[in-house]
Structure 1
Amino acid sequence: MKHPYLQEEHEIFRKSLRKFLEKEAYPFYEQWEEERIIPRAFWEKMGAQGFLCPDVPEEYGGSGVDWGFSVVVNEELERVGSGLVGIGLHSDIVIPYITAYGTKEQKERWLPKCVTGEMITAIAMTEPGTGSDLANIQTTARLDGDHYVLNGQKTFITNGIHADLIIVACKTDPSAVPKHKGLSLVVVERDAPGFSRGRKLNKVGLHCQDTAELIFEDCRVPKENLLGEEGKGFQYLMEKLQQERLLVAINAQAASEKMFEMTMEYIQSREAFGKPISRFQNTQFKMAEMATDLEMGRAFLNQLIAEHIHGANVVTKVSMAKWRLTENARRIATECMQLHGGYGYMEEYEIARRYRDIPVASIYAGTNEIMKTIIAKNLGL
């Protein structure tokens, strides 16, 4: 049966990427977890091999391939560890804002270095007092001559420590009615005066992923760094959140499949009462339930990815996938840890890390409660 979006060239690409990761990522991942950061050298190696931003047009240094290649990259990175999520954010969440809304000059200035890994990106939406309610963002950007002057704080920013280029959601018209019409996107570069980084946040999981607070104190940014048009920031965010949430669903599914694989291997080798624990009916039932959820999740996800690649508006289905597949992943992490017994609670076993890493997927990119609200609204309720 023909795959909804993968072709032979995608699988050749996957083999090449997997070989690269077996050499450059798997042996070092635990070290990165302990050091609480992924070295920039790894980003540059990814870029040198064409594994960053593969869908960026060739004129800006990318490969110009379809988004199926990005799906492959994100699945393989997730198999290494969830802490690599910042790479997917760079390639498939931040860069699409620049390719879609940037001027030719902005694309020429930023995209080539983003493709090589010389320049790492982030997007700053969340604030200490504002999460899902984007219209109530408090960070402001006031036009002063040839510069915007930014004031405010952002938090929970993925790639916050490494980032050289940050798309900041801010209010250029604080008095706009309705509020969301005053929102714009301004790109802040690493050396912008008045920009500083706060704490690198100490998280329950995703230890090697650098998450930080960002601070803007009379931060001066050239007005040429406005992305798109003033007042259209909220519209741009809504247009791009579909792909961001789909990416979270893809990673959740890949993590679930990986946890299932490692648990299958463990239950077949671990013995109790004179036989492998895979022979016990409770174990078999648990594995059967998880296998069914994985098959159904994968079938829905693959079709959804294909529709997204073809430009369909699949906001409702993406919200369903983001909610259901992240909840599946949380449940599978719990079940798999339980089947590992006491060893599942030991840090030397990968399932312990997976158990810590997966819960945040139901929170970021819009909480699962927000996903249900979107689904209900689009059902006409």
Structure 2
Amino acid sequence: MDFSLSAEQKDIIKAAREFAQGEFPDVARDFDRDETFDENIWKEACELGFVGIFVPERYDGAEYGFFEHCLVTEEFWAVEPGIGQAILSTTLGAEIISLFGSDEQKRLVLPRLVAGKEAVGVAIAEPGGDWDVAAAKTTAIKDGENWLINGSKTFVPNGASARFVLVYCDLLPDRVQGDGRYGFILVPTDSEGYSAEKIHGKMGLRAAHTSTVNFNGVRVPLKNLVGKEGEGVRQLGSYLDRLRLTMCAQAVGLSRAALKEMIQHTAGRHIFGVPLNSFQVTQFKIANMAVRIKAAKNLYYEAAWGMDQGRTDSNLIAMAKQFCAETAVYCADEALQAHGGYGYIDEYKVQRLYRDAKALDIMEGAKEMELISGVMDLGVA
């Protein structure tokens, strides 16, 4: 077993780190305060090849593995989570199209994502039911040559700015039960009956836009169904595996950022005439953060490597997501605590990390759900 990175992977990390360090820090606080984002940064990231790095060459991507996508994600989040999310969330849903879409759908969407010309969104969660994917109420009914879509979705990334949104729908609302009733449909956001409203006042990740979306009699061609009818649950499972791995990388990146803030602040802050980091209790905190970060990184590296080798382990991915997210929250909390009152002021980056970290505990499956998923093969769930 070899844990070393290739020369090419090291180059990807170096390039992503240098780009993030050069572009993110000076604007991060304003983006967070104002809930804004400069799309020119996203376009530049696309030009440098950081966005959609997993997209096949046939559709203008670099055709790297998902592990390399995670490496870029980690570096972006190690500098500034909100901006990292704003840039890389523009391809959320591309995984579904890459895996299950028709050649026509791939040619329509993927090249423009990689080029920074358009963004895509994915609409799964619903008001009230959230991630109860076996009880989706948004319906898509065949009406001649079209799907007729009605319903609402929430927490949709780029819902108000994307060119297309992948919508998780109930295709057979009259059927009492069964997984074979669900599917993803590619919906142009300029369709009549589509409306989106940006969600304001999020606790963190404010540079990244999230929306509530309504579908009021939206009509799209039958060919916009991704894959075959009734495959939605399986497609969603594959997408969640990749999304949760991405979140592992996000969590490790944020944890690294918190550790950096912790080390810098405790070295410069003096208590009783000596640096705060000269106290053993502070050293223990720093060491515990470093240990958890290393463990989290190794856990998600194994899961991402296995996926790229064709051996996806959904239970391992769930374990990794839970542990990585928990590590991010832990590290952000310890770093803020070490800042004392200064950590409560938005002049200091650590409070932003603290707010951003909590999203990782909740998004794409709460930590309790991940724990249940992680023990399914142990015979206790």
On whether the aligned pair clears a TM of 0.5, the verdict is yes
Output the CA distance in 1 between the equivalents of 2:181 and 2:287: 51
Residues 152 and 212 of structure 2 are in contact (CA less than 8 Å); yes or no, is this contact kept in structure 1?
yes
Residues 17 and 51 of structure 1 are in contact (CA less than 8 Å); yes or no, is this contact kept in structure 2?
yes
Residues 33 and 207 of structure 1 are in contact (CA less than 8 Å); yes or no, is this contact kept in structure 2?
yes
| Corresponding residue for residue 66 of structure 2 | 67
| Corresponding residue for residue 78 of structure 1 | 77
Is 1:88 aligned to 2:92, yes or no? no
| Corresponding residue for residue 3 of structure 1 | 3
Give CA deviations for 1:309-344 in whole Å, capped at 9, x if unaligned.
Answer: 212131111111111121121122111111111111
Equivalent position amino acid for 1:168 in 2: V
Output the CA distance in 2 between the equivalents of 1:151 and 1:270: 57
Residues 124 and 131 of structure 2 are in contact (CA less than 8 Å); yes or no, is this contact kept in structure 1?
no
CA 285–80 in structure 1, closer or farther in 2 if over 3 Å, else same: closer
1:216-235 mapped onto 2 (5 Å cutoff): 216-235=215-234
| Corresponding residue for residue 380 of structure 1 | 379
Equivalent position amino acid for 2:95 in 1: P
Aligned to 1:338, what secondary structure does the other structure show? helix
Residues 75 and 254 of structure 1 are in contact (CA less than 8 Å); yes or no, is this contact kept in structure 2?
yes
Residues 139 and 150 of structure 2 are in contact (CA less than 8 Å); yes or no, is this contact kept in structure 1?
yes
Output the CA distance in 1 between the equivalents of 2:317 and 2:288: 23
Equivalent position amino acid for 2:321 in 1: K
Equivalent position amino acid for 2:370 in 1: M
Equivalent position amino acid for 1:89 in 2: S
Identity %: 31
1:187-336 mapped onto 2 (5 Å cutoff): 187-336=186-335
Equivalent position amino acid for 1:239 in 2: S
| Corresponding residue for residue 13 of structure 2 | 14
Cα drift, residue 103 of structure 1 = 0.8
Aligned to 2:375, what secondary structure does the other structure show? helix
Cα drift, residue 221 of structure 1 = 1.3
Residues 136 and 179 of structure 1 are in contact (CA less than 8 Å); yes or no, is this contact kept in structure 2?
no
| Corresponding residue for residue 359 of structure 2 | 360
Greater than 4 Å deviation, 4+ residue runs: none
Is 1:154 aligned to 2:181, yes or no? no
Query: After alignment, is 148-157 or 35-44 more displaced?
Result: 35-44
Output the CA distance in 2 between the equivalents of 1:175 and 1:153: 18
Output the CA distance in 1 between the equivalents of 2:72 and 2:124: 25
Residues 60 and 111 of structure 1 are in contact (CA less than 8 Å); yes or no, is this contact kept in structure 2?
yes
Output the CA distance in 2 between the equivalents of 1:255 and 1:288: 16
Output the CA distance in 2 between the equivalents of 1:288 and 1:146: 62
| Corresponding residue for residue 39 of structure 2 | 40
- TM score, norm. by length of structure 1: 0.95
Equivalent position amino acid for 1:147 in 2: N
Aligned to 1:340, what secondary structure does the other structure show? helix
Aligned to 2:20, what secondary structure does the other structure show? helix
Equivalent position amino acid for 2:346 in 1: E
Query: After alignment, is 313-322 or 36-45 more displaced?
Result: 36-45
| Corresponding residue for residue 182 of structure 1 | 181
Output the CA distance in 2 between the equivalents of 1:330 and 1:15: 26
Residues 137 and 151 of structure 2 are in contact (CA less than 8 Å); yes or no, is this contact kept in structure 1?
yes
Residues 166 and 189 of structure 1 are in contact (CA less than 8 Å); yes or no, is this contact kept in structure 2?
yes
Cα drift, residue 177 of structure 1 = 4.7
Query: After alignment, is 63-72 or 162-171 more displaced?
Result: 63-72
Give CA deviations for 1:230-266 in whole Å, capped at 9, x if unaligned.
Answer: 1111111012211111111111111111111121111
Query: After alignment, is 259-268 or 172-181 more displaced?
Result: 172-181
Output the CA distance in 2 between the equivalents of 1:19 and 1:371: 33
Equivalent position amino acid for 2:3 in 1: H
Give CA deviations for 1:112-136 in whole Å, capped at 9, x if unaligned.
Answer: 1011111101110000022231010
Give CA deviations for 1:194-216 in whole Å, capped at 9, x if unaligned.
Answer: 10112433211111111110010
Output the CA distance in 2 between the equivalents of 1:40 and 1:147: 34
Output the CA distance in 1 between the equivalents of 2:133 and 2:184: 12
CA 308–80 in structure 1, closer or farther in 2 if over 3 Å, else same: same
CA 213–331 in structure 1, closer or farther in 2 if over 3 Å, else same: same
Aligned to 2:357, what secondary structure does the other structure show? helix
- TM score, norm. by length of structure 2: 0.95
Residues 90 and 122 of structure 1 are in contact (CA less than 8 Å); yes or no, is this contact kept in structure 2?
yes
Output the CA distance in 2 between the equivalents of 1:374 and 1:15: 34
Output the CA distance in 2 between the equivalents of 1:325 and 1:18: 20
Structure 1: runs of 5+ lacking an equivalent: none
Query: After alignment, is 21-30 or 55-64 more displaced?
Result: 21-30
Aligned to 2:93, what secondary structure does the other structure show? helix
Output the CA distance in 2 between the equivalents of 1:341 and 1:29: 22
Residues 199 and 213 of structure 1 are in contact (CA less than 8 Å); yes or no, is this contact kept in structure 2?
yes
Output the CA distance in 2 between the equivalents of 1:300 and 1:105: 37
Output the CA distance in 2 between the equivalents of 1:340 and 1:314: 39
Aligned to 2:150, what secondary structure does the other structure show? strand
Cα drift, residue 86 of structure 1 = 4.2
CA 86–231 in structure 1, closer or farther in 2 if over 3 Å, else same: farther
Output the CA distance in 1 between the equivalents of 2:93 and 2:204: 22
Is 1:341 aligned to 2:344, yes or no? no
How many residues matched? 379
Equivalent position amino acid for 2:259 in 1: F
Aligned to 1:168, what secondary structure does the other structure show? strand
Output the CA distance in 2 between the equivalents of 1:41 and 1:126: 29
Residues 156 and 201 of structure 1 are in contact (CA less than 8 Å); yes or no, is this contact kept in structure 2?
no
